[in-house]
């Protein structure tokens, strides 16, 4: 299992958010998220946005804490990263 989570640092909606990704497959990411009650609406093409209040529980469940830079590096090397160009529909 290679589910990764960065530190909560992205402000929105009155809290800060982390990104939850897999460096293996989207199937692994969705399975981990479902098993730990991360709402599917939090999925954004290649990651889940999760609030700071969920961070400790997800780490305790096995998500590996990494820096944002390491998270993006792992996501790119897995081939799962959706580029900004793709996000914009170009």
At residue 76, the pLDDT reads: 86
pLDDT digit string (tens) for 22-59? Answer: 989 999 999 999 999 999 999 988 899 999 999 999 99
CB contact at 8 A, 78 and 18: no
Tell how far CA 76 is from the center of its chain.
Answer: 13
Task: List the alpha helices (DSSP H) in the chain.
Answer: 26-35, 52-60, 68-78, 84-87
Please count the CA atoms within 13 angstroms of the CA of 18 that sit on its side-chain side.
25
pLDDT band, residue 87 (cuts 50/70/90): low
At residue 81, the pLDDT reads: 75
pLDDT band, residue 77 (cuts 50/70/90): confident
Task: Please give the Cα distance from 25 to 46 (Å, whole number).
Answer: 10
pLDDT for residue 84 is more than 80: no
CB contact at 8 A, 80 and 26: yes
pLDDT for residue 88 is more than 90: no
| Residues contacting 59, CB < 8 A, separation 6+ | 5, 65
Kindly state the percentage of the chain with pLDDT values over 90.
Answer: 70
């Amino acid at each position: 299992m290679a589910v990764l989570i960065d530190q909560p640092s992205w402000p929105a909606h009155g809290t800060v958010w982390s990104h939850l990704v897999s460096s293996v497959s989207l199937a692994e990411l969705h399975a981990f998220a479902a098993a730990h009650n991360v709402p599917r609406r939090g999925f954004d093409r290649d990651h889940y946005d999760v609030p700071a209040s969920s961070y400790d529980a997800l780490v305790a469940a096995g998500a590996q804490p990494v820096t944002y830079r390491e998270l993006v590096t792992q996501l790119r090397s897995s081939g799962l990263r959706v580029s900004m160009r793709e996000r914009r529909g170009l």
